[in-house]
Structure 1
């Protein structure tokens, strides 16, 4: 279909080049390209060049179009969080020439109603986080409540997904806490005992742990119990084994990385990814989302209990790769030297960091 936009030389046909709205739409469409779709890659290159040139030319006397193009070149729609972008669209639509006031007022009303809901949810998770006092008693952890909540809004902004946003914000905060214990603060002996307590899933097993670990595990055990009880009351289903399994797999994988660091062992890329798709914790987030869903059934749980579906593994691998590409430098600065995908690839292939990043992309 996109071949119709280009001539035999690979340039956009005049009717497209002269249509700036069409050029902008083609630019946005190019970001849906999959690997190997050379036509869309070519479209992205050409439209980016053309739109940039249009911004710089004296022909551009439309401030609204200039804002649209500048906004798109900064970050395409496909890469933005949908709900966060709503406010920008509302403001832009208001200054349009053919505004339908009823539609604009409906958009504003919808935005404000959802904002009120989000504020109430944030108050609720803030009270929960404050009552736990983990950020006070464990000063080394990252206190990222608002970030965690915002990411949940980005994933599911609709009002009916209230339970999901609350649960996932709590889970993300606990994941960050446990991750920092493994990566930054805990000694290897402490981490061995911490992982053993998780595997046994017995509050009595935490008595031998340092106080900061006891506080963390108490919060984690209570979280799993509360959400399991909630699902049982609503659906009559026992999701506790699935949630426990997710946490056990995450902690076991995190311990493997801690051991490697203390032993000075740099794994091959394959070894790293085999363990890393668990340590990135995407399977924990997916397990919670699956279990607290109102549509979950006993048959679904039986299938999920037998093992992680391929879609969970592959989604986790994508998260692992993106996480390492984006955060490896920051993690090194804050003392997290467990070894990222980038470091493993550099060591295995004997290449520089820039080469490793480019080749893995």
Structure 2
């Protein structure tokens, strides 16, 4: 092994057993009475409102148009007007910036919207807000709406945009200073932004928040009514899908058969919702959730229960992909193997149905690759080897599960074809950067659990050993690396115009999910009760009053 450090070796027969709390949701989603008549009523009401809002959108221009588009996106209803929004953004892009958008709010909002939608825009538009010493003008420091807009714009920055690097520090300092004196609802809006920027979040999780914000501002009632009906329509659909998924999961009874595996079916479905919250992506939500459940079984088996000898045998049998050979495995591994094969059979069936059989070998290979990567992590521990940082990161691109996640989309997402797979598997920078920042966020949040109380190396441990750094220095470095990772992703977001837009959006979403799941260095997936539960309840349980 290149450039490795020696650590204490552990017997290959030692079994590390870690159990987790049962699902906090109990049987709440196992049964759900779906009312088609209610959904049909919502659909009719939405159609009437959409026609009025469409006319409003097409008539809008200048700053009012941008604010309207921003509201549509924050309220989770922009997908109803996808073509119109793209047409209007093209108009905004074509107009001279200086002529129409002179103030800080408008300039920042235009920059962010266009860059998020993959238009090429220069950060030079912010030079008018800079003094001769290259510092942002202090006269901006009391413009709360302008500062908030600049803060959001700064989070789509790329490498070399020094003015936006400064803008992050400038806006965070001044917004934090202003918060105690602000009144509702702008106070809550600023606090929400400071927790996590729009660009780095999961939009569907903040829809309810923005509905309450715009409602308290006595904002446009047409938008609010559509947003509320749309939210309840989606929630009913999600609950039906969650009910079906929960019943499917319960049939395997892995909760009792594999007690060392995290029972997180609702949290897995949340990831599916993040990748495609719109009605047409029901199959994506289902397939992502099932893939995450499969990955969780594999991860916990390798990390929390298997001996090295068992893990190597399982990896070998998984590589051979043959149910006839599983008799040599211990019983718990046979159960896990059958579950993986069950997921595969469903995947193969769906790929056949969608005329995408070309996806099947890629799915198999990504699962095998993941098994080898998990086994490598365990091998490093048991053989007493600490890999160098670069080697660990190469392996972590795979254990981030980015390739398993994206192959899960292929059968049922129209924009994913064989060329898309070839692009993904060529390890483009936007994919590897997203995978690395996702894994870095995960390791920062969960390295105490992930390393079996210090035995299994995480990215933090490897960096400390490799660079002779203290833990605090390593943690600070990873905050910097995550910021640089987002700059890489943002840079590629604009460059990558040879694959479908939806594909690029899914790559970006991977990073947003990591930011939400591992916010404040908490492992929200393993311990949802700490910070994720309220969001799940708001999205899947509590309807809005209309």
TM-score by length of 1: 0.90
1:331 matches 2:450: yes
For CA contacts below 8 A with separation 6 or more, give which structure has more relative contact order: 2
Partners of 1:184 and 1:336 within 8 A in 2? no
Q: 1:317 to 1:184 in 2, by over 3 A?
A: same
Matches within 5 A, 1:73-84: 73-84=194-205
Partners of 2:359 and 2:407 within 8 A in 1? no
Measured after TM superposition, the shift of residue 182 of structure 1 is 0.8
Residue number among 428, 438, 452 corresponding to 1:319 in the alignment = 438
Measured after TM superposition, the shift of residue 329 of structure 1 is 2.4
1:130 matches 2:228: no
Partners of 1:282 and 1:319 within 8 A in 2? no
Matches within 5 A, 1:62-211: 62-97=183-218, 99-211=219-331
1:260 matches 2:380: yes
1:47 matches 2:168: no
Aligned equivalents of 1:66 and 1:253: distance in 2? 45
Q: Secondary structure at the match of 2:414?
A: coil
Aligned equivalents of 2:234 and 2:436: distance in 1? 33
Aligned equivalents of 2:148 and 2:237: distance in 1? 34
Measured after TM superposition, the shift of residue 85 of structure 1 is 0.6
Q: Gaps (5+ residues) in structure 2? A: 1-124, 482-546
Aligned equivalents of 1:348 and 1:21: distance in 2? 45
Larger mean CA deviation between 212-221 and 272-281 belongs to 272-281
Residue number among 370, 385, 396 corresponding to 1:276 in the alignment = 396
Measured after TM superposition, the shift of residue 352 of structure 1 is 1.0
* Cα-to-partner distance string for 1:240-294 (whole Å, 9 max, x where unaligned): 2111101111101111221111110111112212222222222111122234423
Q: Gaps (5+ residues) in structure 1? A: none
Q: Secondary structure at the match of 1:35?
A: coil
Q: 1:6 to 1:100 in 2, by over 3 A?
A: same
Residue number among 37, 42, 47 corresponding to 2:161 in the alignment = 37
Partners of 1:237 and 1:298 within 8 A in 2? no
Q: 1:164 to 1:328 in 2, by over 3 A?
A: same
Residue number among 450, 454, 462 corresponding to 1:344 in the alignment = 462
Measured after TM superposition, the shift of residue 193 of structure 1 is 1.5
* Cα-to-partner distance string for 1:14-65 (whole Å, 9 max, x where unaligned): 3x344321122112212222233221122222222222222334xx4x4222
Measured after TM superposition, the shift of residue 314 of structure 1 is 4.2
Partner of 2:337: 217
1:235 matches 2:355: yes
Measured after TM superposition, the shift of residue 297 of structure 1 is 4.1
Aligned equivalents of 2:138 and 2:379: distance in 1? 59
Q: 1:283 to 1:296 in 2, by over 3 A?
A: closer
TM-score by length of 2: 0.61
Q: 1:318 to 1:69 in 2, by over 3 A?
A: closer
Q: Secondary structure at the match of 2:301?
A: helix
Q: 1:300 to 1:330 in 2, by over 3 A?
A: closer
Aligned equivalents of 1:54 and 1:248: distance in 2? 52
Aligned equivalents of 1:340 and 1:326: distance in 2? 11
Q: CA RMSD in A?
A: 2.2
Partners of 2:366 and 2:404 within 8 A in 1? yes
Residue number among 100, 116, 131 corresponding to 1:7 in the alignment = 131
Partners of 2:148 and 2:190 within 8 A in 1? yes
How many residue pairs get aligned? The number is 353
Q: 1:256 to 1:20 in 2, by over 3 A?
A: closer
Q: Secondary structure at the match of 2:185?
A: helix
